[in-house]
Amino acid sequence: MKLLEDAILQRGRVKDGDVLKVDAFLNHQMDVPLINEIGKEFYRLYKDQGVNKILTIEASGIGIACITAQHFGVPVVFAKKTQSRNIDGPVYTSKVTSFTHQREYDIIVSKSFLGPEDRVLLIDDFLARGSALLGLIELVHQSGASIVGAGICIEKGFDTGGKLVRDSGVPVESLSIIKEFRDGKVVFAD
């Protein structure tokens, strides 16, 4: 998606250790008109799949998921990291290892909000090693819901997550795929 790639080139910053910072427009300050275009594109890609629910993970996925959900006219459910005790009743749970925070945590979704009748689109900002996305997929499997696919804003194409998720049978549409960082610059896959 050219608009997103342009934003990455113009407003992203590459840091040591293959870290791409997009906090100017995607995950700290959020460029809502740009995210609306992202949501439209996810809708174009998945509109014929009978999606009735969008699932994401707190925190940075939530805004993207909500704006995308406006195009589908469906609710969003976001998985919570379990520092929260503000959920009562039974939950689905899985584990996620955060590359950014370098720790493992549990994620949960209340059983009230995901079940066998659901056709779920997964949304997240980044796909790198795939831990968050695989954690969400595990939650959906526990619920008996169907996974339509995943919509990702930025995939690190050189990392392992994209292949892991696609090999598991879940379609992934990434709006930008980074092939490599070369001399501190982003190079996109064709």
Q: Which residues bind a second copy (CB under 8 A)?
A: 15, 21, 23-25, 28-33, 35-36, 58-60, 62-63, 65-67, 69-70, 73-78, 80, 83-88, 100-101, 109-110, 112-113
Residue (98 or 160) nearer to a second copy, CB: 98
Residue (33 or 116) nearer to a second copy, CB: 33
Closest alpha carbon to 58 in 151, 125, 127, 129: 125
Residue (109 or 148) nearer to a second copy, CB: 109
Residue (65 or 165) nearer to a second copy, CB: 65
Residue 29: CB minimum distance to a second copy, A: 4
Contacts of 11 (CB under 8 A, 6+ apart): 22, 24, 25
DSSP 111: G
Residue 120: CB minimum distance to a second copy, A: 12
Residue 8: CB minimum distance to a second copy, A: 16
How far is it, in rounded angstroms, from Cα 185 to Cα 9?
8
Pairing of strands 185-188, 53-57: unpaired
How far is it, in rounded angstroms, from Cα 144 to Cα 147?
9
